[in-house]
Amino acid sequence: MTVMTYRDALNAALREEMRRDDRVFLMGEEVAVYQGAYKVSKGLLQEFGEMRVVDTPITELGFAGVGVGAAMVGLRPIIEFMTWNFALLALDQVVNAAAKMLYMSGGQFAMPMVFRGPNGAALQLGAQHSQAWESWLAHIPGLKVVAPGTPADAKGLLKAAVRDDNPVIVLEGEMLYNMKGEVPDGDHVIPLGVAEVKRVGEHVSLISYGKMVNVALQAADALARDGVHAEVLDLRTLRPMDVPAIVATVRKTNRCVVVEEGWELCGLGAQVADYVQREAFDWLDAPVLRVHQAEAPMPYARTLEKHAKPDVAKTVAAARKVLYLD
C-alpha cells in the first residue's frame, strides 16, 4: 500500500494506462501546459507529449465530439471536463453520440472512451457550479457511471473505465482531491459494477457513493458512540448498480438510509429504494429514508449552502428515525 491523495491516485491511473496502451490520450481544457485545473494531469505532458495530452479551447461540445470520433476509429480518449457543470454544453455528444453509437451502428462502432471531471458542490461556487449530475447521467442506457469516494477507488475505477469498451462517466469529488488514503501497489483495477462494504454493521444500512461515502462513515462513527452499529455500503458504480450488494446489506440490518448528494426528485436514492422494496421488502422493519440536498438551487451564502447540503447530522437523524430512537 502507498498513501496518496485522491488527486495523485487519479494521476497514477492516467499515467499507468497511457504507458500501457499508446491509444489512450487525454484531452480537455488546461490539461497540458497548466497540468489540469486541479493538477490531476501533472507531469503527463512532459512524459507523453502534446499529441497525447491535448489542450483545448473552451469548447466542451467540440472536444467531446472529437473524442467520440477518435473512439470510433480505434483510439481510447479520456475527455476531461473542468467541472461536470460545464459538461452540460457537451451532453449532446455524451448522450446522443457516445451512449447510442454502438446500438445505432448495429455493433460496428464501439465507444472505448472516458468522460471525467469533478461533480457536485464544492464551497461557495454558486448554483451554476454546484450541481450533482449522477442521476442525469446514470439514467442513460449505453453509459456506465462511476463515483469513487476514496483514493484507492479513484485509481481502481478510473483504470477499469479506461480499459472498458463502452463510454464510462467518472464523477470525481471536487472536495476529495486533497483527501489521503492507502492505495494498493501494482496494477490496481476495480471491476465496474461492484459495490463495497466500507464498514460492517448490523443495525442500519447507510448506502452511499462518491464524497457522500465519507459523510456516511462519519455518521456511522457518531452512531457508534450511542451503541448503534451502522453498515456503510459504497455503491462505487451507479450504472450498472450492484443490486445483490444492496439487497444483502438490507436483509442483514432490516433498515436502510440512502445518502446522496443530489436533489430528491428522481435522484439516485429513489432507484436504490426501488430495488430495496422489490427485492428486500419482507426484510424491512422501517421505511427507506433518503438524505439529500435541499430542493433549491445551491445558495452562495456559506450558512445557507451548509444548510442545503446533506451532512452527518442529517444522516444520523435519519438513521435514528428508522431505528425508532427519536
Catalytic residues: 60, 129
11, three cell numbers: 494521476
* DSSP state, residue 53: E
8 A C-beta contact, residue 196 and residue 236: yes
Query: What are the CA-CA distances from residue 139 to residues 99, 188, 239, 259, 285 (Å)?
Result: 11, 28, 8, 18, 29
Contacts within 8 Å (CB) and 24+ apart, 280-284: 280/246, 280/247, 280/250, 280/251, 283/250, 283/251, 283/254, 284/250, 284/254, 284/255, 284/256
8 A C-beta contact, residue 25 and residue 74: no
The SS3 call for residue 13 is helix
29, three cell numbers: 481544457
8 A C-beta contact, residue 71 and residue 111: yes
185, three cell numbers: 501497489
Cite the DSSP H helix spans in the chain: 6-20, 44-48, 60-72, 91, 101-104, 134-138, 151-163, 212-224, 243-253, 268-279, 302-308, 312-322
The SS3 call for residue 248 is helix
